[in-house]
Structure 1
Amino acid sequence: MHLAFYVEDIYEVERQLKQRDDIRFLCPVVREEGGPLDGLDWAYLLTPWGLVIELLRWRPGQMPYEATTAKRMVPPPWLRPGGAR
């Protein structure tokens, strides 16, 4: 099990969290290239108490998989059509 967070600037969040000595990144930021998730950025990190957190960044409405299904990843409210920030 893990908890996932959408972040707008995944590289800046990675930079800031790597300055902490209590957070351990399990991998660097990965950018999906090609395939249904082309353009998705993700990374996993581990908290001091053992919780795995996933950071995600993608552009809703611009993912290749969206052309083949009505299913969608749930974006944060401010990225939804008509969403307030």
Structure 2
Amino acid sequence: PISITINQTKERFYFKIENPADMSSTSLAKLMKRGSSTKKNGGLGLYNFSKITDKYLNANYGIKYLKRTKMFVLELTIYEKSISKTV
């Protein structure tokens, strides 16, 4: 099952999503590219996520895959002040 953790403090919001996945035939670098997916009808989620979060100085994220438990983990921290990066 998918696990979602949300934590809020005065300074930040923290989100952690854990999703079981068999990534033996792909890599995290490939999944960050547009059109790539381990699912049949997907491929834009992580690409769009990275493009959106990269626009903000107050948003940091980390993505990892735990081989032992076959768990995909995404952690997102959004700090209180929202500052948009200039493009």
Scaled by the length of structure 2, what TM-score is found? 0.33
